[in-house]
Structure 1
């Protein structure tokens, strides 16, 4: 079955399958590492178990109907933000004291992209990812909105809103590599191609695990 054929279920069936799959044990690091930068192991070793020390943050994979497919937003970060300037990311940010990852993901997404209303259904969470440069332990949240949102991006944080889809994510033609100079060396970095944009780092790792979950959820 091709990547395109795999998403020809009804919206309700896809969401039902994803909800059930997210309730079971996740692929975890084995899927995340498919898109991990090659220098990540060295950075983690320097951090002395960053998974324990990291400050909690959350991002939202917000699925919504878009034509025959389900889509989700990504943001091109401005040069005014503190972390990951000019990179493609999922909407989200740091958890406030006493705030759960779900609460933080929803709040931060609304701050970046505008109000979502009260119809967002939380389907589940993916495996947390530690980000050595910023020190955050990011909790990916998967949600569903039955209508396409009207995006009102915050100009200080969001330079552009990009829309990806499940068909795009499942299509192996959008996975690639590119050379980048980081930490005093040149590396071949795994990336997802979305139009003229390259998605890499923690966002690519999160999407790699989500891709594995979607593949398993949509198996006949």
Structure 2
């Protein structure tokens, strides 16, 4: 499977609908990046299985003021005069050492929001396999990878939560990570993950 065909699959995912949320009025904006990796063997073979592709997750530092210790994707607040994708790139480089030259393709997911009052603009990026992880311990405690198949195997569930007078369906992905413990991928991260997984499931 050559690079052109892998990129075509990635763009088919981009064109799917995913999870569309109503977003309440929020003045703070942030942007995140979901790094996704295709196995090395797929770049050289005539076929690929999306279920073997993997996502990178971070566990946020306990030192952070907001969402400390939670599972997230690299990202942060959009600075003045900064485009959302620039923010996602800047934060990914600061948190995990990901350079923009290692992004082969990307697309914007549907917007989401966090209970801390952020309107979130998420992106998904296909990353080259020469990426060398460099964790910034001031922002990230740990990182881990999950394949699409492992995410599909999680017992995901949703509930209705209320923020002021705004009702929202919130997705949860409970997970037990070896050597790290039990976590719940939920809230904005859970809903953004749900958006991506709905798109992927259309092409499995």
Mark the CA change 1:206 to 1:10 in structure 2 (over 3 Å): closer, same or farther: farther
CA displacement 1:192-214 (0-9 Å, x = unmatched): 42524321111111101100011
Aligned to 1:174: 154
Moved more, 80-89 or 56-65: 56-65
Aligned partner (choices 30, 45, 54) of residue 27 of structure 2: 54
CA displacement 1:50-109 (0-9 Å, x = unmatched): 633231111111112346632221111111011101100011111111212211111101
- Aligned: 1:17 with 2:9: yes
Q: Distance in 2 between matches of 1:148 and 1:197?
A: 29
CA contact (8 A) 1:192 1:204 kept: no
After TM superposition, list the pairs within 5 Å mapping 1:193-204 onto structure 2. Answer: 193=175, 195=177, 196-204=182-190
CA contact (8 A) 1:113 1:154 kept: yes
User: What CA RMSD, in Å, does the superposition of the two structures yield over aligned residues?
Assistant: 2.9
Deviation at 1:22, TM superposition (A): 1.6
- Aligned: 1:71 with 2:88: no
Q: Which runs of 5+ in 1 are unaligned?
A: 1-8, 33-48
Q: Report the 3-state secondary structure (helix = DSSP H, G, I; strand = E; otherwise coil) of the residue aligned with 2:95.
A: helix
CA contact (8 A) 1:65 1:148 kept: no
CA contact (8 A) 1:55 1:94 kept: yes
Aligned to 2:46: none
Aligned to 2:201: 215
Moved more, 94-103 or 67-76: 67-76
Q: Report the 3-state secondary structure (helix = DSSP H, G, I; strand = E; otherwise coil) of the residue aligned with 2:25.
A: helix
Aligned partner (choices 141, 154, 157) of residue 139 of structure 2: 157
TM (norm. structure 2) is: 0.76
Q: Distance in 2 between matches of 1:161 and 1:138?
A: 21
Aligned to 1:123: 106
After TM superposition, list the pairs within 5 Å mapping 1:87-106 onto structure 2. Answer: 87-106=70-89
Q: Which runs of 5+ in 2 are unaligned?
A: 42-51, 164-169
Moved more, 99-108 or 188-197: 188-197
Q: Distance in 2 between matches of 1:159 and 1:121?
A: 27
Aligned to 2:45: none
Moved more, 201-210 or 190-199: 190-199
Aligned to 1:81: 64
CA contact (8 A) 1:122 1:141 kept: no
TM (norm. structure 1) is: 0.71
Mark the CA change 1:189 to 1:128 in structure 2 (over 3 Å): closer, same or farther: closer
